[in-house]
Structure 1
Amino acid sequence: MDFSAEEHAIIEKALKAATANTGDHHAVFQYQKVLQKLQGHNNSDTTAQQDGFRYDYDDSKDV
């Protein structure tokens, strides 16, 4: 099934919103699984968008 860029963005946004607004861990897993598949078909995504997490560690010794 082919989606336009707008439809693709809407589906991604809906999956992210559903993931953020549910407490059901099984549902979150399912939404993330579909989102990963959807993002796998979109080659313009960056790594940060694909995995969804980035941490900024401050390794300096001056605290």
Structure 2
Amino acid sequence: MDLLTVPQVMARLRLGRSAAYDLLRTRQLASITLGRARRIPAHALTEFVHARLDQEAA
């Protein structure tokens, strides 16, 4: 399983730091905490994008 850092997610989604952490805080994007580090499973990012695409299509 691939785990992404917040900066990697920011780059992939082309979001700023605040927007990325807002997605994590509101649980729109799943993450885990390892020690003090926040990691986002790659499949969670894929699911997030698919959910947003479904919302836009509706």
TM-score, length-scaled by structure 1 = 0.31
Larger RCO (CA under 8 A, 6+ residues apart): 2
Which structure has the larger Rg?
A: 1
Which structure carries more strand by proportion?
A: 2
